[in-house]
Structure 1
Amino acid sequence: MNAQENSPYSRFGLGNLIPAQNNLNRAMGGLTAAYNNFQSVNFTNPASYANLKITTYDIGLDYSSRTLNTLTPPKSFTSAYLIPSYLQLGLPLSKKNNWGMNIGLRPISRINYDITIRTRTSIDSVRYGYVGNGGSYQAFTGMGFGSKNLTVGFNVGYMFGNKEYNSRVSFINDSVTYKTSNTTDTTRFGGLFYNAGIQYKLNLNKTTSLRLGAFSNFKTEMTATKSISRETVNFSTNSGIQTIDSVYRGVDEEGKIIYPSSWGAGFMIDNENVWMVGVEFNAAKWNDYRYFGANDNMVDSWTARFGGQIIPNYKGEGYWSRVAYRFGFSFGPDNLKINKPINQTTFSFGAGLPVRRNVYTNQYTVINTAFELCYRGNNSNEIKESLFRLSVGLNLSDIWFNKPKYQ
């Protein structure tokens, strides 16, 4: 995978957050609280698992292009990377009793930055280098169950990851050669997490329904181990870091990382297989975030989401009339504050591209795409980010996932 990402904002907290929705929901502005469809696995609200009717395998990939713009000095830098966005398997345990489960793995955040700052003293030039790598992940399983109109669900799993920060200082002189000092701060962490959700469906008429939904991610306390080392090194952009001498190597320090609670609530109006629209509000208590007792510039955040979907003719002969066209919009303050608040705005659209005709009731293959334009920061922030993200998901349930029946 190509991972040439560079985002200074990922230095804080556990890094840049990866969208907590599958590709289908991302295209609709990230609506998940009230979304429920048997042809997709909505891992954000596990109450939706109760509606699974057929074994479903869902995998997603993200391609992102990020552009950084600095105010002083005015510069621009673009990086691109490709990562898996989730892998999950939805299983209907009892169609009659509205009982389903899901098993999945997905990334939560990414740390990836490489910054060089040069200054001039009275004699020498000094070059400071800051490099960070790492991220966090969740492996989980969950269940959803309930009646025809009211369902509840939960996920339980293990959240884990690592973060590594390198700080280099180099003195540059025309006649004297100095060695470079390098400090490495490495942290590994892990702990159990839980979340739960609820959905309620109210039929407005024979074809149209109103669905209400809410979910909550509970505060997670993870055990962490941190180690610090200081070395004298030779450094070059071609060969990287070559250690000459170890100056200090600290004993592993045990501590805690507190990952904050969050919640979401919303509604969707669904005209079955024709159109749907929805509104949702999300909030997260990032003031509660702690890394070995430090808050690391994290602040409470919220996001307002709007989106919808249109299918011109679900049973039509023309292929493009059977495609699901999706659109969405979201905005809100970021969970990071550096002197001034940072705002985020995202525009999204996408499509659900059926690979099979809908006459197959026990098998289907859909390619879900999402295009997102994300803006982070404004003219009052030192660094502004713009992000283009292309997400592609393969939603597959074919005949080989079902037990054959013989008479």
Structure 2
Amino acid sequence: MFAKASLAAVAAASLLGSAAAAPLLATTLQLDKRDPVYSPDFNITYSSNHSEGLPRTLIMATGGTIAGASASATDSTNYRAGSIGVAALVEAVPQLLNVSNIDGMQVSNVGSGSITDEIVITMSKLANKALCSEDAPYDAVVVTHGTDTLEETAFTLDATLTCNKTLVVVGAMRPATAISADGPANLLEAVTTAVSPASHGRGVLITLNDRICQAMYCAKTHSNYLDTFKAYEQGFVGALLSTKPFFWYPPSQPTFKTVYDIANVTEFPRVDVLYSHQEATFDGVNASVANGAKGFVGAGTGAGSLSPFASANLAYVIQQGIPVVASTKINNGAVVPSQNATEGSYISSAFLNPVKSRRLLQILLALGKSTDEIRDAFEEPLRGYLY
């Protein structure tokens, strides 16, 4: 049975093949006499039926460090993300089958910097079919993902999942070949959290390093260390003890959260993030508009401030009816809206960081919202609370 094989060995073996595109090993592994299952909606390449009494979880694998491989067990920085497939990930953690029946599908197998809007929209639609449809076939969904853009995907899924079933996004900071790789334990904890009744009604969750974080506010805070995902102000919603989830508070959703139905959305409009600094000009915004940009997010200094040069260029863009959201590159705090919404000015991001502001703006534009409606979606909840 493949489950007993070392994930590190499988990952290392994959490096001996092509040094180019990462292979999808899930399609070539011996699945212990379990035939792959296919349906119109889910291209399942791994399936287990360990117990009729256990819940069923869909694992959507996208690649990332959790599926990465390096030539050395001590090298946790120079590796190839997305080197092994979903079957290898599951079979390397046989304890998973004591927790849930598992179906696995390979949505992509890339580093998360290569995740596209198309992939994210596909995952949102699959998650809604898996969990929220009238005859939903799954009790929970787990997404394995690279950590670099994990927060963007998790936020999108949180903003577009239309029911209260649990979806957990998980990654790893060390590749599968590393000494003390964190991926297997993280995956077990993600599935355990996903199928726990205590997880229902909390929105999309992120689990890494024995911590449970809500997707709306959780962000990657360190480029190397295991305890990278945090929500500094909002805090963790729970932790894992002996792989069992424990929540600090009863189920609740983040304040001001809104869910959007993107079932009919086929693509997200282009929205660019502009990083501010001293003497930032943003001279390229007009070229971006000419190349198809439909909105901008300013990653401002402090509470969303921009240089006079940048402000002048963005003012011209706003006059053309293109929405500009003011966010902050600082990890904590809010860009607070003014008491009265002002036509022709920036839209305040409230507590959303630049990449999450970008995604929300994309969703709203894809749904055909006007600039005033976009402003209300970002600003009105906090404005109504403050004034």
Q: Greater share of helix residues, 1 or 2?
A: 2
Whose Rg is larger?
1
Compare relative contact order (CA 8 Å, sep 6+) and give the higher one, 1 or 2. 1
TM-score (norm 1): 0.23
TM-score (norm 2): 0.24
